[in-house]
C-alpha cells in the first residue's frame, strides 16, 4: 500500500503553503508606500497652487527662495519614496517567481504520479478500488482502505485544482507588477528630471540670495521669516507632545532600549555622539546680529559641514515628523522616549520615514542648504520635557 507516501505528500504540500503565508506581505507594503506617494503628490500640488496665487502679489526674495526650497524638498522625498516602492516591487516579483517555481514543481510531481499509476494499471492490469477493498484480509482493513482511498482521491483532485488556480493567479500578479515597475521607473525618472529643473531655477535665483545677503532690508525680512519658522517648529513640537500616539512610541522605544541594552536619553547627558561632522557656527540661545544690530533667539546649534555629508541620529527612537519649515528647510523630529526629542533641519535626501524606528548612528539624511541662505549646514535641537535644551551640554566633547 502507498497510503503513507500520499499522506506524506499532503503534509509536505500543506507545509509549503504555510511557509508561503509566513513570507513578507509585499502587497501591504506596496499599498502603504503607494498611499505615501499619493500624499506627497497632493502636497506638491497644493504647494504649486499656493505659489501660483502668491505670484500675483509682490513677494520678498526670501519668500521666493523658500518656495523653491520647499518644492525641491517635497520632490526629493517623493523620489525617495518612489525608489523604495521600486525596491519593494522588485522583491515582490522575485517572491512571485519563487512561489511560481515551487508550485510548478508540486504540480509536476502530481502529474508524474498520475502518469505512473496509469502505466502501472495497463502493464500489470488495473485493480479497481473495489477489488482493493475486497482483497483486504480483515473487516477493519477493508474499512480503512475504503476511507483512505476516498480521502486521497478527493484531496489529490482538490490539490491539483488549487495549484493550477494558484499558478494562474501568480502569473497574472507577476505581469501586473512588471507593468507597475515599468511605470514606476518612468515616474521616478520624471521626478528626478523635475528636481534638476528646480536646481536650475535656484541657480537663476542666485541673484535673489545675493540680494538677501547684501541688502539689509531683505536680510531683515529673512530673519523675520526664520522667527516665524521658530514658532512653527514650537507648534509642531507641542502637537507631538500632546499626540496620543506618544504612549505607543514610548513602549516601542523601551523595547528597543531593552533589546539593544542602551541607556535612557536622560542618562546620556554629555555623552551623545555628534549628529554631523563640522564646526559650530551658531550657538544656542540669544545671538547678536552685527549687520542688523538685532538680537535673535537660536533654539539649537548650527553645524557647518561638507555639503552632502551624513546626518546621523544621536540615539535610537521613533521618527515623529518629516516636514518643511520656513527658515529651517526640511526638518526631521525624532522621539527618544522619556519626553526627549531631537530636531534636524536644513537636511536633504531623507533616508527614513515617519513612524520608522532608528538606532544610534543611523544615517537619516544628508547635509543640505534647504531653507538656508548661508550654504549647507545642520540646525540641531534637543527638547526635554517640553523645554529647549543647549545641545552642546548633551553632546560629547570633541
Q: What is the DSSP string of 43-71?
A: HHHHHHHHHHHHTTS---HHHHHHHHHHH
pLDDT band at 199; cut points 50, 70, 90: confident
Residue 63: the pLDDT is: 72
Cβ burial, residue 116 (10 Å; 0-12/13-18/19+): exposed
Poorest-confidence range of 171-175, 273-277, 297-301, 362-366?
171-175
Q: Helices 61-124 and 26-54 meet at what angle, rounded to 10?
A: 160
Q: Which of 377, 389, 381 has its CA nearest to residue 276?
A: 377
Has residue 242 got a pLDDT over 90?
A: no
Q: How far apart are CA 301 and CA 378, in angstroms?
A: 8
SS3 label, residue 126:
coil
Pairing of strands 363-367, 347-348: antiparallel
pLDDT, greater one: 140 or 381: 381
Domain with CATH 1.10.287 in the chain: 3-204
Residue 95: the pLDDT is: 80
- Beta-sheet strands, E only, within the chain: 279-282, 285-289, 294-298, 301-304, 310-312, 317-325, 329-335, 340-345, 347-348, 357-358, 363-367, 377-384, 387-389
SS3 content of the chain, % helix, strand, coil (to 5): 60, 15, 20
pLDDT band at 31; cut points 50, 70, 90: low
pLDDT band at 25; cut points 50, 70, 90: low
CA-CA-CA-CA dihedral for 300, 305, 310, 316, to nearest 10: -20
Q: How far apart are CA 91 and CA 85, in angstroms?
A: 10
Q: Which of 299, 306, 384, 385 has its CA nearest to residue 344?
A: 299
- Beta-sheet strands, E only, within 195-300: 279-282, 285-289, 294-298
Residue 74: the pLDDT is: 85
Mean predicted confidence (pLDDT) in 135-164: 63
Has residue 366 got a pLDDT over 80?
A: yes
Poorest-confidence range of 24-28, 89-93, 237-241, 298-302?
24-28
Q: How far apart are CA 101 and CA 305, in angstroms?
A: 51
pLDDT band at 17; cut points 50, 70, 90: very low
Cβ burial, residue 90 (10 Å; 0-12/13-18/19+): middle
Cβ burial, residue 78 (10 Å; 0-12/13-18/19+): buried
Number of Cα atoms under 13 Å in the Cβ half of residue 53? 6
Residue 4: the pLDDT is: 43
Has residue 55 got a pLDDT over 70?
A: no
> Per this entry, what is the length of the chain?
398
Is residue 360 within 8 A of residue 317, CB to CB? The reply is no
Domain 232-393 has CATH 2.60.120.280: no
Mean predicted confidence (pLDDT) in 335-358: 93
Residue 28: the pLDDT is: 63
Give the phi and the psi of residue 276 in degrees, each rounded to 5: -155, 155
Has residue 396 got a pLDDT over 70?
A: yes
Give the phi and the psi of residue 117 in degrees, each rounded to 5: -65, -40
Which residues are CB-contacts of 16 (< 8 A; sequence separation ≥ 6)? 102, 106
The total of other beta-carbon atoms located within 10 Å of residue 176's CB is: 12
User: Grid coordinates standing for 347?
Assistant: 537636511
pLDDT band at 130; cut points 50, 70, 90: very low
Give the phi and the psi of residue 55 in degrees, each rounded to 5: -65, -15
Q: How far apart are CA 131 and CA 80, in angstroms?
A: 68
Has residue 19 got a pLDDT over 50?
A: no
Domain with CATH 2.70.70.10 in the chain: 232-393
Residue 90 sits at the vertex; the CA angle it makes with 84 and 95, to the nearest 5 degrees, is 125
Mean predicted confidence (pLDDT) in 205-218: 67
What fold is seen in the domain 3-204? Helix Hairpins (1.10.287)
Q: Helices 206-214 and 61-124 meet at what angle, rounded to 10?
A: 140
Has residue 217 got a pLDDT over 50?
A: yes
Amino acid at each position: 500500500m502507498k497510503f503513507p507516501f500520499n499522506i506524506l505528500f499532503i503534509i509536505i504540500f500543506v507545509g509549503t503553503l504555510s511557509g508561503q503565508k509566513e513570507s513578507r506581505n509585499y502587497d501591504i507594503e506596496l499599498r502603504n508606500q503607494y498611499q505615501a506617494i499619493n500624499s506627497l503628490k497632493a502636497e506638491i500640488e497644493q504647494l504649486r497652487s499656493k505659489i501660483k496665487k502668491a505670484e500675483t502679489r509682490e513677494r520678498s526674495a526670501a519668500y521666493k527662495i523658500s518656495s523653491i526650497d520647499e518644492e525641491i524638498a517635497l520632490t526629493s522625498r517623493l523620489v525617495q519614496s518612489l525608489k523604495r516602492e521600486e525596491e519593494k516591487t522588485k522583491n515582490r516579483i522575485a517572491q512571485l517567481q519563487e512561489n511560481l517555481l515551487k508550485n510548478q514543481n508540486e504540480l509536476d510531481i502530481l502529474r508524474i504520479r498520475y502518469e505512473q499509476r496509469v502505466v502501472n494499471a495497463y502493464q500489470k492490469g488495473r485493480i479497481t478500488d473495489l477489488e482493493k477493498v475486497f482483497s483486504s484480509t480483515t473487516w477493519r482493513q477493508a474499512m480503512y482502505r475504503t476511507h483512505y482511498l476516498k480521502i486521497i482521491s478527493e484531496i489529490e483532485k482538490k490539490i491539483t485544482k488549487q495549484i493550477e488556480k494558484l499558478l494562474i493567479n501568480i502569473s497574472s500578479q507577476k505581469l501586473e507588477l512588471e507593468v507597475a515597475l515599468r511605470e514606476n521607473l518612468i515616474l521616478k525618472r520624471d521626478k528626478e528630471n523635475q528636481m534638476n529643473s528646480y536646481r536650475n531655477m535656484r541657480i537663476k535665483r542666485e541673484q535673489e540670495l545675493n540680494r538677501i545677503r547684501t541688502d539689509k532690508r531683505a536680510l531683515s525680512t529673512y530673519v523675520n521669516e526664520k522667527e516665524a519658522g521658530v514658532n512653527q517648529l514650537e507648534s509642531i513640537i507641542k502637537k507631538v507632545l500632546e499626540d496620543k500616539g506618544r504612549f505607543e512610541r514610548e513602549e516601542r522605544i523601551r523595547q528597543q532600549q531593552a533589546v539593544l541594552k542602551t541607556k535612557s536619553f536622560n542618562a546620556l547627558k554629555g555623552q551623545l555622539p555628534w549628529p554631523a561632522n563640522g564646526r559650530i557656527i551658531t550657538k544656542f540661545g540669544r545671538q547678536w546680529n552685527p549687520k542688523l544690530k538685532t538680537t535673535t533667539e537660536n533654539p539649537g546649534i548650527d553645524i557647518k559641514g561638507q555639503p552632502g555629508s551624513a546626518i546621523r541620529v544621536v540615539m535610537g527612537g521613533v521618527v515623529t515628523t518629516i516636514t518643511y519649515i520656513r527658515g529651517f528647510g526640511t526638518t526631521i523630529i525624532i522621539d527618544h522616549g522619556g519626553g526627549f526629542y531631537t530636531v534636524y533641519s536644513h537636511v536633504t535626501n531623507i533616508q527614513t520615514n515617519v513612524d520608522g524606528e532608528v538606532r544610534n548612528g543611523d544615517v537619516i539624511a544628508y547635509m543640505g542648504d534647504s531653507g538656508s541662505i548661508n550654504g549647507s549646514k545642520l540646525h540641531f535641537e534637543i527638547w526635554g520635557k517640553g523645554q529647549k535644551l543647549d545641545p552642546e551640554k548633551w553632546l560629547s566633547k570633541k
